Amino acid sequence: MVNPFDPENDLPFDEDPFGRTLEDFTMTGRLRRFHASFDSSIRAILQDCLFRIKDENGVLTFEILCPNEAVQKRLYRKREKIRTTILWIWNNLDYYAFCIEKDGLQCQVLSMKCHNGGA
């Protein structure tokens, strides 16, 4: 028998053996964990970026939307640290990309399965 969720009782995630909360399973919680996983120099670079997960026919890409080309280049140099952090938080992504708006969206797309994104 399946017991329905009763709002009077605690949330099911309150008893998580790893101490995770419901927010840890949401996109906002995962993005907070992603941002907090880096040292202050990478966090400073990421603070002006936007993030999204793009789904094209079941192929998932984590896009980091950079404000300019300088930020894109700095993040690209840190791509392996970023890739391993993304893998730790999201285990179902196929690619990650560093994007800028320049005559349309220009992205450097890298594979999640290759060291340094296959670059």
Query: What digits encode the pLDDT tens for the residues 22-51?
Result: 555 667 778 888 888 888 999 999 999 999
Mean pLDDT computed over 70-95:
92
The answer to whether residue 5 scores a pLDDT higher than 50 is no
pTM for the full predicted model? 0.74
67 vs 48: CA distance, rounded Å: 7
The answer to whether residue 71 scores a pLDDT higher than 90 is yes
The answer to whether residue 76 scores a pLDDT higher than 70 is yes
Q: Please give the share of the chain, as a percent, with pLDDT higher than 90.
A: 50
pLDDT: which is higher, 3 or 57: 57
The answer to whether residue 17 scores a pLDDT higher than 80 is no
Q: Report the alpha-carbon angle 13-14-18, nearest 5.
A: 75
Token readout for 104 is 């349309």
pLDDT: which is higher, 3 or 89: 89
Q: What fold does the segment set 17-118 form as a domain?
A: Diaminopimelate Epimerase; Chain A, domain 1 (3.10.310)
pLDDT: which is higher, 3 or 31: 31
21 vs 26: CA distance, rounded Å: 10
Mean pLDDT computed over 69-93:
92
